[in-house]
Amino acid sequence: MTASPSVTTSASPTLADPVRLSPLRTRLALLALALGGFAIGTTEFVAMGLLPNLASDLLPGVWAVSETDATAQAGMLISAYALGVVVGAPTIAAMSGRFPRKQLILGLLVAFTLGTIASALLPSFGLVLAARFVAGLPHGAYFGVAALVAANLMGPGKRGQGIAIVLAGLTIANVIGVPAITFLGQLAGWRIAYLAVAALFAVTFVAVWIAVPLQAGDPHATMRRELKAFSRIQVWLALGIGAIGFGGFFAVYSYVNPLATNVTGLDVALVPFVLVVLGLGMTVGNLVGGRMSDWKVMPSVFIFFGAFLVSLVGLALTAETVPGLLVFLFLSGGSASALSPAVQSRLMEVAGDSQNLAAALNHAALNIGNSLGAYLGGVTIAAGLGYLSATWVAVALIVPGAIFAVLSVLVEFRQRARVAGASAQSEETVSV
């Protein structure tokens, strides 16, 4: 039912025959792909730093009655983008397996640019909500295709590191892009902030066009073959690990602005610096996660879940102090982000020939977590339980995520035992 990592990698047409470039050209190509991750991370997460600004401008009536309710309702903008990722990732990946990868990436960047411009220019909350959904559609497909290209460029045995390099752009966005655009949005307005993000996508288009080599798609890919991934229980379990377990991170991240200002008591001008600390944790965690997933995927998942749990509890207990807020945001961002390359590697392990879909599904799963975490955090905040309640929501979501991980290991042991038993029976029949 599932293939081992070595079998999957060698058999998969999408990862065979790696492109050989000079070291400089390889680095430039990976940098261009990571720049796309940087722009995507900025467009996805900038709303979290500007949530009160979005709420006061797009929901003035609600804001006048209750700033807390307006902020919680504006969290739907985060959920809308995440739902766009969930819809777009499997749909685009399943249909585009045969497309040349560079041209596909360029087309996705055009879609990002237009969707982000629409987000900046549309006048009402409902229209901006729709624009954020549309802007999220190419997200998962971009990371899926870019991860396959990066894995091809890195060569055998370094798939996790290739995935981590592409994702590094997303995490670095939380160190530089999101704080900078948040600061710009506070000075010039959130609409100018989104136009700046659209400019990042335009620059990425040029960088990819110049630096990324041509790579053919998979000539054998069909929608039917890609969709076979959904018949594998291990794929569903891996999606559960990402969607539920990672959702806890977004329950915290979505409301980091009011957490820092209302709970810790920081001035709103310091929110970008809080985001830098969180982004640094995410960047370090992503790189560590990439290397550890090249070591052993599932043991890494359990290690990161444990670290995530400890950091969230620490945040919930100490967020009223500046050191507690900063230290445990750094650790929670690091441990959560380390899960991402591990889950993506797991999906690519267990998906068989459905590599295009598997590479994209990770981001669909993570954005289900994004939507779920933002929604549940908003529910508890709107219920009057305070901004720290979102952190306890995150703690609760780790439990089912870890259960999915345990089930995945148990199913794998059972499958291996079944194969070993069949092999022993076959050898016994031959000897007789």
What are the pLDDT digits (tens) for 157-187?
A: 666 677 778 778 877 887 788 888 888 988 8
Q: What is the mean pLDDT of the chain?
A: 81
Question: What's residue 14's pLDDT?
Answer: 43
Tokens of 154: 């890195």
Answer with the residue of higher pLDDT: 318 or 297.
318
Q: Tokens 């959130």: give the residue.
A: 190
Does the model's pTM come out above 0.75? no
Largest Cα–Cα separation, the chain: 84
Q: Say whether pLDDT at 48 is over 80.
A: no
**Statement: residue 95 has pLDDT above 70:** yes
φ, ψ at 294 (rounded to 5°): -75, -20
Residue whose tokens read 């790579």: 215
d(CA 203, CA 212): 14
pLDDT at 269 over 90: no
C-alpha closest to that of 344 among 148, 109, 172: 148
Task: Match 């990819």 to its residue by tokens.
Answer: 208
User: CA 341, CA 97: separation in Å to the nearest integer?
Assistant: 21
Of 370 and 217, the one with more pLDDT: 370
Domain ranges of the chain: 18-425
With cut-offs at 50, 70 and 90, classify the pLDDT of residue 427.
low
Secondary structure letter of residue 364 according to DSSP = H
Q: Which fold has domain 18-425?
A: Growth Hormone; Chain: A; (1.20.1250)
